[in-house]
């Protein structure tokens, strides 16, 4: 399955699905479309989907003229019909994770997106979570949900985490030139996810696991989640040492490249 997906990606025949068309998801979808892929954006907000399909952007980092060009060329469109998830070869979750009063991320939007995928998961799909979350979400929460369908990791689907590192309103750093950290639940997942992002991003850093990638986001000095501090990361992670048996903290710091 890994080789099948890599070939689809290399040949630009993989259909890309992005769930959540905000300041992360819309520029990401547009970047894939501009690089030759066909993309479908999934939104619960009908007005946002309609704006995109009419060639209008509501995000400052991507112009209406670019959206219109890509929509008119049939490279991308938006929908509120999540049944189209089954048509996608790669699905990227870019939903918001607001902080609760306890300073923990509210993962309800992630779970809602995962439930939509779970209901339509088919063999041969790559699922990537970009939304900021606590370490362990990808392999402890999403993986069991997807395996409830009867499909198995590596044999039926691939699963990875790649933290969004968007700096909204900064024209110097956009999707293509912000270094991308990618960590899969398995080696195959890491390899395919990294290959996918390499089609649109100049610099891709593959790390040893999804958990390392999740933690790297929280240590990003430009992230609003930096306020949580490392002690919160430790409390969220059920097994911090599983990041790496000998040097977990150093491994995570090494995987957090600067974009400046």
Residue 62 pLDDT more than 80?
yes
Three-state DSSP class for residue 131: coil
Separate counts of helices (H) and strands (E) for the chain = 11, 8
Task: Tell me if 68 is assigned to some domain.
Answer: yes
Pairing type for strands 125-129 and 157-161 reads parallel
The per-residue pLDDT for range 110-136, each reduced to its tens digit, is 999 999 999 999 999 999 999 988 889
Report the residue count for the chain: 260
Residue 213: φ, ψ to 5°: -65, -40
Identify whether the C-beta of residue 135 lies closer than 8 Å to the C-beta of residue 145: no
Report which of residues 237 and 118 the model is more confident about: 118
Residue 67 in 3-state DSSP?
Answer: helix
Phi, psi of 143 (to 5 degrees): -55, -50
**pLDDT tens-digit map of 8-52:** 999 999 999 999 999 999 999 999 999 999 999 999 999 999 999
CATH number at residue 192: 3.40.50.720
259 lies in some domain: no
Asked if residue 137 belongs to a domain, the reply is: yes
Half-sphere exposure of 257 (CA within 13 A, CB side): 15
Residue 223, pLDDT score? 52
Is residue 240 scored above 50 in pLDDT? no
Question: Which residues span the domain enclosing 60?
Answer: 2-254
Query: pLDDT by residue (tens digit) across 183-207?
Result: 999 999 999 999 999 999 999 999 9
Using CB atoms within 10 Å of the CB of residue 259, give its burial: 0 to 12 exposed, 13 to 18 middle, 19+ buried.
middle
Tell me how many domains the chain contains.
1
pLDDT of residue 164: 87
Per-residue pLDDT of 75-121, as tens digits, reads 999 999 999 999 999 999 999 988 788 777 789 999 999 999 999 99
The token pair that represents 141 in the structure block: 């929460």
pLDDT at 255 over 80: no
Q: Is residue 260 part of a domain?
A: no
Q: State what percent of residues in the chain have pLDDT above 70.
A: 81
Residue 14 domain-assigned?
A: yes
For residue 153, the 8-state DSSP code is: B
- pLDDT exceeds 70 at position 181: yes
User: Is 120 inside any structural domain?
Assistant: yes
Contact 196, 14 (CB under 8 A): yes
Higher pLDDT, 179 or 165: 179
Band of pLDDT at residue 175, cut at 50, 70 and 90:
confident
Residue 214 located in a structural domain? yes
Q: How confident is the model at residue 249 (pLDDT cuts 50, 70, 90)?
A: very low
Half-sphere exposure (CA, 13 Å, Cβ side) for 96? 9
- pLDDT, residue 170, reads 63
Q: Residue 232: its pLDDT value, please? A: 47
């Amino acid at each position: 399955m890994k080789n099948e997906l890599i070939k689809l990606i290399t040949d630009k025949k993989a259909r890309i699905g992005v769930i959540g068309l905000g300041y992360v998801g819309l520029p990401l979808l547009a970047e894939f479309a501009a690089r030759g892929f066909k993309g479908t954006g999934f939104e619960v907000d009908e007005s946002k989907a309609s704006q995109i399909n009419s060639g209008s952007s509501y995000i400052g980092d991507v112009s209406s003229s670019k959206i219109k060009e890509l929509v008119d060329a049939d490279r991308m469109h938006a929908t509120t019909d999540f049944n189209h998830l089954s048509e996608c070869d790669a699905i990227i979750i870019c939903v918001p994770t607001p902080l609760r009063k306890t300073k923990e991320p509210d993962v309800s939007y992630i779970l809602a997106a995962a439930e939509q995928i779970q209901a339509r998961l088919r063999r041969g799909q790559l699922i990537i979570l970009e939304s900021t979350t606590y370490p362990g979400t990808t392999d402890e929460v999403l993986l069991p949900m997807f395996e409830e369908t009867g499909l198995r990791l590596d044999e039926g689907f691939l699963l990875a985490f790649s933290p969004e590192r968007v700096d909204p309103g900064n024209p110097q750093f956009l999707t293509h030139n912000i270094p991308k950290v990618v960590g899969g639940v398995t080696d195959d997942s890491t390899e395919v996810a990294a290959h996918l992002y390499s089609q649109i991003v100049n610099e891709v850093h593959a790390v040893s696991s999804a958990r390392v990638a999740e933690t790297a986001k929280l240590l990003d000095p430009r992230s609003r989640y930096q306020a949580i501090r490392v002690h919160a990361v430790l409390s969220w992670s059920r097994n911090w040492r599983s990041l790496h048996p000998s040097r977990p903290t150093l491994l995570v710091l090494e995987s957090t490249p600067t974009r400046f």
